Amino acid sequence: MVTLTPCCFGHPNDTSARSGLARFRRALEQLPPGAEGHIWVRLPIQLGDMMMALPSLFAVKAAWEGWAARAGRTLRFTVTGKRSVSLFQEAVPQVFAACHVDDEFPCSGSPLKLLRHWGRERPLALINYSKSDRIKLAAWLGRVPVRAGISEGSNTWSYHFHHSFQGFAQWGHMSFRYLPLTRWLAGPDTCLRMERLEPSRFGGGSVTAVLREQGWDGGPYVVFAPYPLPQFPERQWFPLDQPWLRLARLARADGYTPVLAGGPERREALDRLAAAAGCLSLGGRTTLPQLMALAADAAGTISVDTGIAHVAAATGAPTVVIFGWGSENKDIPCGPRVVSLRGDPAGAPVHPVPPGSMDQASCPWSAASASIPAERAWGVLAHLAREAVPDPSRTLNPAPAGAR
């Protein structure tokens, strides 16, 4: 459901279907012929949420660049946000003109500093896929011609925006919450657009050296992402590490090196699991572009519901996602070869979780993942890999036990 709140200062929110595109075209026409317009994009905090915003961003980018080319102008897009946007740092300038990570960009914390950074070149538009109020205020103070995005935030300053919406108010897949905004900006017939995350465009090729440092022999490998973010323990595959130990044995038996992936906050846990399971661990040892390249070149990925699953799926690689607590219809990653697995919550035991975690972590819906056998996940990944990669040297093809 789209929420349009009347503006407290100046112009009210404009709800007509073509108004955002018309506003953009008027701003574009104010530029001299041959000039370049600047578009500023703020992306969500979590990696998975950011990936779900990309179909909207890519659709708007393609539409606006088409309009700019027809008008004899050019555009450059700058993306900014928390650590997750570092996925694009090696994609500059192939995909975006610039990428600013908050911890490395001194203007992020202050609207006034951001205004000074913009200087005399006021952006044509700000698209805010996050809840950042600072960037809303900076765009409003700078009178950016097109301001659009999520109205939620600590101060809910929706009057800063011409088009605002509540980020979690809609039914369906999370990527579709951005469809009304996308069509307001790019036209009523615009569809969401997903572009593959490919190492040739997004970088990360140096992950090969990182793999070799950890003992990789250059053969085929699979990626396992066992752990969600610490604040989401209910997304684990219960009973804790046992399924991953079994998966590692299945992978090695079929000639694949299992590689564990995860963020720096999970490095110690991944190293312990790798030692127990005979895996390589890249936990906390890769940049996000390297993580993307790791998944893109793997025979497949098995992951719990976390950002790694979204990145792997977006590369087009085979991806199996384990769901316990959560909604596949809303949260399943976007990709051509993705399958989600959920267990049976009936009679599922309640597994203990660390103190202070979410209440849902101890409910049967979380423990339902305990009924998913590792063999099922491996078999589904094998099927997806056979479908995806005709080259038998990279295809998971477990032979029957008696044939080995």
Token pair in block for residue 27: 């701003």
Domain assignment present for 129: yes
Type of residue found at 126: L
Domain assignment present for 10: no
Domain count, the chain: 2
In the predicted structure, residue 230 carries a pLDDT above the cut 60 = yes
In the predicted structure, residue 245 carries a pLDDT above the cut 80 = yes
Same domain, 246 and 270: yes
Name the more confident of 344 and 347.
344
Contact by Cβ (8 Å): 317, 296: yes
Domain assignment present for 7: no
Q: What is the pLDDT of residue 401?
A: 38
Same domain, 92 and 43: yes
Summarize the confidence of residues 110-134 as an average pLDDT: 91
Domain assignment present for 85: yes
Cα within 13 Å of Cα(352), Cβ side:
2
Same domain, 213 and 320: yes
Same domain, 270 and 359: yes
- The residue out of 158, 186, 214 marking a domain boundary is 186
Same domain, 266 and 305: yes
Q: What are the pLDDT digits (tens) for 159-207? A: 567 776 655 555 678 898 888 889 999 999 999 999 999 999 999 999 9
Q: What are the pLDDT digits (tens) for 276-334? A: 999 999 999 999 999 999 999 999 999 999 999 999 999 999 999 998 767 788 899 99
The CATH number linked to 118 is 3.40.50.2000
Same domain, 29 and 141: yes
Mean of all residue pLDDT scores within the chain: 85
Q: What is the pLDDT of residue 304?
A: 96
Instruction: Please count the residues of the chain.
Output: 404
Q: What is the pLDDT of residue 398?
A: 41
Summarize the confidence of residues 117-146 as an average pLDDT: 90
Domain assignment present for 192: no
Domain assignment present for 197: no
Summarize the confidence of residues 215-229 as an average pLDDT: 96
In the predicted structure, residue 383 carries a pLDDT above the cut 90 = yes
Cα within 13 Å of Cα(399), Cβ side:
9
Same domain, 274 and 172: no
In the predicted structure, residue 336 carries a pLDDT above the cut 90 = yes
Res. 27 pLDDT band, cuts 50 70 90: very high
Q: What are the pLDDT digits (tens) for 33-80? A: 999 999 999 999 999 999 999 999 999 999 999 999 999 999 999 999
> ∠341-277-346 over CA atoms, to 5°?
30
Same domain, 159 and 57: yes
Domain assignment present for 193: no
Summarize the confidence of residues 203-231 as an average pLDDT: 95
Contacts 24+ apart (CB under 8 A), 244-247: 244/273, 244/277, 244/374, 245/273, 245/276, 245/277, 246/373, 246/374, 246/375, 247/302, 247/374, 247/377, 247/378
Res. 368 pLDDT band, cuts 50 70 90: confident
Q: How far is Cα 13 from Cα 24, in angstroms, rounded to an integer?
A: 15
Same domain, 162 and 292: no
Q: How far is Cα 35 from Cα 24, in angstroms, rounded to an integer?
A: 15
Domain assignment present for 372: yes
Domain with 76 in it: 19-186
Summarize the confidence of residues 1-24 as an average pLDDT: 52
| Residue that has been written with the tokens 């999370």 in this structure | 174
Looking at the whole model, is its pTM more than 0.85?
yes
Same domain, 271 and 370: yes
Phi and psi at 149, nearest 5°, equal 155, -160
Q: What is the pLDDT of residue 170?
A: 57
| Residue that has been written with the tokens 């997903």 in this structure | 194
Same domain, 175 and 227: no
Same domain, 139 and 232: no
Helix axes 307-314, 47-70, angle to 10 degrees: 40
